[in-house]
Chains A and B, each alone.
Chain A
Amino acid sequence: MQCEMARNNCQMKNALLAISLFLMVLMVGGCGSSRYHASGRTVIQNIGSDTMVNLAQAWAEEYAMVQPAVSVEVSGGGSGTGVAALLNGTADIANCSRRMEPDEIARVKAATGQEPTLHIVGYDALAIFVRKDNPLEEITMEQLAAIYGEKGRIRSWSDLGIQMAGCRNNEMILVSRQSNSGTYFYFREAILGNTGDFRLGTLDLHGSKDVVELVSRTPCAIGYSGMGYATSHVKMIRIAHKPGEPTYAPTVENTQAGTYPISRPLYMYTVGEPTDAVKKYLDWVQAEAGQMLVRTSGYVPRNKETGMIESSRNGGKGADIE
C-alpha cells in the first residue's frame, strides 16, 4: 500500500507545500472568530507582536484571576499581524513593538472609520549580547553601526582590538532577526538610522530567544535581542552614545531614565477609544499590577515608581483593581 503512496508522492508533496502556504496566508488574513459574549464570558482578542507575546500572556493569565468573567485570548504572529487583525476586526487589541506606519493608520481608518488609539504599556530595551567569555565590555553606537551596517568597516573582533579565544580568524558572526520583525526594524532605526540597511550575510534568526541561544553557543557571535531574554551564558554590553561619553548598561533604571541608547516603548493599539471590558483591561495593564508583570517578564515598566518598589508590593498585587 505504501508503495502506491510512493508513486503519488510528488502530487502529495505539491499539495502539502501548497496547503502550508495556504494556511500561512489564512493566518495572516486572520480567520478567528472574535467578539464579545462567547458563552456568557467576555472575550478580548489580543493579537500581535512576538516580542510582547509572553508578556501579553502573563497579563492575560493574571487578569483571569482578577476578573474571572473576562477572558483575554492572546496570540502572536508579529506586529504587522496584530495590525491586520485589528483592521479586519478579529482583534480588539493589537500588540505592537513599534509605532503603526502611516499607511497602516490610514488603512485602519478606512476599514473602521476610526483612528487607532495608542497606549504605552511598558518599555523594551534591546541588549547587545556576546558570549560570557568574550572580553568586550563596552561599545559605542558608531561601532555598532560599523559592525551591522551595509557599508560598515568593522568585520572582525580584531577591528575592536579583541582576541576571542575559540574563534577562528577572529571572524565576527553577526546575529540578527528576520527582516520584518519589530525588533529588526527598531534596531535598524536606532543603530543605522532611517535609511540604513544591514550588511548581507547576517544570520537572521526567527526568535528573540534563538538569538541569545545561538550567541551563548558560538564564541564568534554578537547579537541583539530583548534584554528580558538574557541568560547566565551570555553577557550584555554597556553602550555609549558617543565615543568618550559614559557607557550605560541595559538596566531598568537606565531605560526609565532614558539614558540607555537602545530602548523603545511597547504599545497596545485599539480602534478608537477603548470602552467597557477592553478599557478596564488596558487600565489594569497600565496600572501597578499590570506593570509589575512587565518587570517580572524582563521588560521595563512605564511608571517609574513600579520599577523602584517592586519587592515591597509583591504581596498586595492586584489589590487596587476596580
Chain B
Amino acid sequence: MSRHRWELAVEMLIEWVIRLCGISAIIFVFGIFYFVFREGAGLLFSGRFSLAQFFTNIEWYPTSQSHVRYGGLALIVGTFSVTVLAMVIAVPFGLCAAIFVSEFCGPRLRETLKIIIELLAAIPSVVWGFVGLTLMNSVIISLFDTPIGLNVLNGGIILALMSVPIIVSIGEDALKAVPDTYREAALALGATRWQMVYRVLLPAAKNGLLAAVLLGVGRAVGETMAVLMATGHSVRIPTSALDPVRTLTATIAAELGESSVGSDHYQVLFIVGILLFSITFVVNLSADLIVRGIRGKA
C-alpha cells in the first residue's frame, strides 16, 4: 500500500517536472522578448530616434562624431536579399535531395548520404564564414569578373549550404511519415515512381515539407557569423547579386560587443533585435496559418 502511494508521488513529481519543462519554453521566450524590448524601448520612445528614418534611410552611421544616423533600410534589404537567394538555391536542392534519399536510392547509399549530410550540418558557422571569405571570394571574383567576391551571391550560397542539411533531414522524415499503403496503392494503380512522388507523396507530406522549408528560412534569417564574413558587411542597397550587403543579424553581432551598455547605439541594436523578433514572428504566424489552412481543406 505504502509502496503504491510512493510510486504515485514519484509519478506526480515527474509529471510536474515534465510540465515545467514544457512551459519553460514559453517563459523563456516571453522573458527574453521582455528583456530585448526593455533594452530597446528607452530609445524607441525617447524622440531621439525616428522609426521613419530607420525604415526609409540607408545611412547607418551609429558612431559618427558629427551626425549620428540610424538608417536601417539597407540592413533590412540586405537580410531579405540574402535570405531569398539562399532559399531560391536551397529549397529545390534540399527537397529534391530529400525525395531522392527517401524514395529513389538504395539502402546503402541512403545511409552514406545521411551521414554525410549530417556532417554538413555539423560544420560550425564560423568555418562556413571563413570558406566564404577566402575560397568563395576568389572563386566568385574569377568566375564573374567582379571587383569583390563578398556579396549577396556568396552569402546566399553559404546560407543555402547551411540550410540544405536541415531541409533534407526534416523533409526526408516528412516523406517517410507517409504510410506505405499510399505508395502501394499508387503503384497498384499503375503510376510510375515519379508519378507516385509527384501526385501522392508530395501532397500527403505537404505540412512536413513546409516545416522543413521554414526551418531552413529560419536558419537563413537568423544566421550571423557566416553572413557577417561572406556578405562583405557593407551598408548599401544591392542592385545585383554581385553587390556586397549587410544584414541585421551581422550588424548586431559586429557592433554590440563594442558599444557601451545603455548608450543610444546599444539601444538601437536592441531595436534591430526587436525587428528580427517581429520578422520571425510574422514568418511563424503565417506559416502556422498556412499549415492550418491546408489541414482545414484536407
Which residues of B are found within 8 Å of A2, using beta-carbon distances?
Answer: 169-170, 173
What are the interface flags for A132-144 relative to B under an 8 Å C-beta threshold, 1 for contact and 0 otherwise?
A: 0000000000000
Q: Answer whether A220 and B63 are a contact pair too, CB < 8 Å, given A17-B222, A77-B257.
A: no
Q: Check if B42 is an interface residue, CB within 8 A of chain A.
A: no
A162 to B163, CA, bound (A): 42
Which residues of B are found within 8 Å of A112, using beta-carbon distances?
Answer: none
| A contact patch SS | helix
Which residues of A are found within 8 Å of B63, using beta-carbon distances?
Answer: 179-180, 184-185
Cβ contact within 8 Å between A28 and B261: yes
| Segment among B29-37, B44-52, B84-92 that sits at the interface with chain A | B29-37
Interface residues on B, range: 35 or more
A80 to B258, CA, bound (A): 5
Which of A20, A29, A204 gathers most chain B CB within 10 Å?
Answer: A204
Which residues of A are found within 8 Å of B169, using beta-carbon distances?
Answer: 2
A262 to B212, CA, bound (A): 52
A221 to B244, CA, bound (A): 13
Q: How near does chain B come to A75, taking the closest CB pair, in angstroms?
A: 11
Interface positions of B (Cβ within 8 A of A): 25, 28-29, 32-33, 35-36, 39, 58-67, 74, 133-134, 137-138, 141, 145-150, 169-170, 173-174, 177, 208, 211-212, 214-215, 218-219, 221-222, 224, 228-229, 232-236, 244, 246, 252-261, 265-266, 270, 273, 276-277, 280-281, 283-284, 287-288
Between A and B, 25 residue pairs with Cβ closer than 8 Å are A6-B211, A6-B212, A9-B214, A12-B218, A13-B221, A13-B222, A13-B280, A14-B281, A17-B222, A21-B270, A22-B36, A24-B257, A78-B257, A78-B258, A79-B258, A80-B258, A80-B260, A83-B260, A84-B260, A104-B260, A185-B63, A195-B66, A200-B236, A204-B254, A214-B133
Interface positions of A (Cβ within 8 A of B): 2-3, 5-7, 9-22, 24-25, 27-29, 77-81, 83-84, 104, 167-169, 171, 173, 178-182, 184-185, 194-197, 200-206, 210, 213-214, 217-221
